[in-house]
Amino acid sequence: MRLFTEPLYRLLSSLSPWLRDHHPVIDLRNKLRHWEIVRRTSDLVPGPVYKQSIEGRKFKVVFISPIYNSFPLLALSLIEQTYENWELLFVHDGSAKDLDDNSKAIISSDERISFIETAERANDWGHTPRQIAFEEIRKRGMGDFLVVTNSDNYHVPGYIEKMLEHFDDSTHAVYCDMVHEYYSWRNFETRLEYSFIDCGCVMARSKTALEAGWNDNSYEGDWKYVADLINVCGTKAIRKVKATLFVHS
């Protein structure tokens, strides 16, 4: 495949911007780049239990995120995923009338992205919007797996596939390493301890995540969610992905 994808990608990238960066050329460039990511990336675990389901895109992965008048980097990172069966629910903290037009255009560009506003601003680290998102997930019955993250975070293009590879019938959640601005953008090896993990590193079965819920509106709310996941399923049902698949901004 490389003999086909790389030369064609270089050829398309050499075109003038007015042609290169618009549909359908940009769609083809992105598809070629995704094929290359998949080709170059071997399974992180030998013989993933759900390999056929992953390849057939049978699982739906739902991302929920608060947002407040910020550029939706998260949306761009999900649009770039090699695994296409996902949904994103943004919950804006209060009125979104001041959200800039570019951000609105990105959010409305993909039908997999939903956007709702809260009646008033809570200003509590995004926790109230997350609680609202959890209730929406319950009502809509959305997805097989759930990721709680933030609008300015970045999930690398292979994030969904590589996280799903680590699930088997006894696994309720998986988590990965990350790059974190708090640590000078260095690689950060996560572990299941307070201040050593971010919720965006974690993918959980939707049933487990909803059972855990989002119960804390304090600064430590992110960790409390992870702690509640542990209380629901135990540490033996949570697996570590030995790869850096998440950037915390």
Question: pLDDT tens, 83-118?
Answer: 999 999 999 999 999 999 999 999 999 999 999 999
Distance separating alpha carbons of residues 150 and 100, to the nearest angstrom:
18
34 pLDDT more than 90? no
25 confidence band (pLDDT: 50, 70, 90): confident
pTM of the shown model: 0.89
57 pLDDT more than 80? yes
Distance separating alpha carbons of residues 244 and 201, to the nearest angstrom:
9
* Residue 165 one-letter amino acid: E
Question: pLDDT tens, 198-243?
Answer: 999 999 999 999 999 999 999 999 999 999 999 999 999 999 999 9
pLDDT score, position 92:
98
Distance separating alpha carbons of residues 192 and 209, to the nearest angstrom:
16
* Residue 206 one-letter amino acid: S
Superfamily for the 45-248 domain: Spore Coat Polysaccharide Biosynthesis Protein SpsA; Chain A (3.90.550.10)
Question: pLDDT tens, 125-177?
Answer: 999 999 999 999 999 998 999 999 999 999 999 999 999 999 999 999 999 99
**Nearest Cα to Cα of residue 244 among 82, 44, 42, 35:** 44
pLDDT score, position 38:
67
Give a three-class secondary structure readout of the chain: CHHHHHHHHHHHHCCCHHHHCCCCHHHHHHHHHHHHHHHHCCCCCCCCCCHHHHHCCCCCEEEEEEECCCCCHHHHHHHCCCCCCEEEEEEECCCCCCCCHHHHHHHHCCCCEEEEECCCCCCCCCHHHHHHHHHHHHHHCCCCEEEECCCCCEECCCHHHHHHCCCCCCCCEEEEEEEEHHHCCEEECCCCCCCCCCHHHEEEEHHHHHHHCCCCCCCCHHHHHHHHHHHHHCHHHEEEEEEEEEEEC
Q: Can you give the residue ranges of every domain in the chain?
A: 1-40, 45-248
10 pLDDT more than 90? no
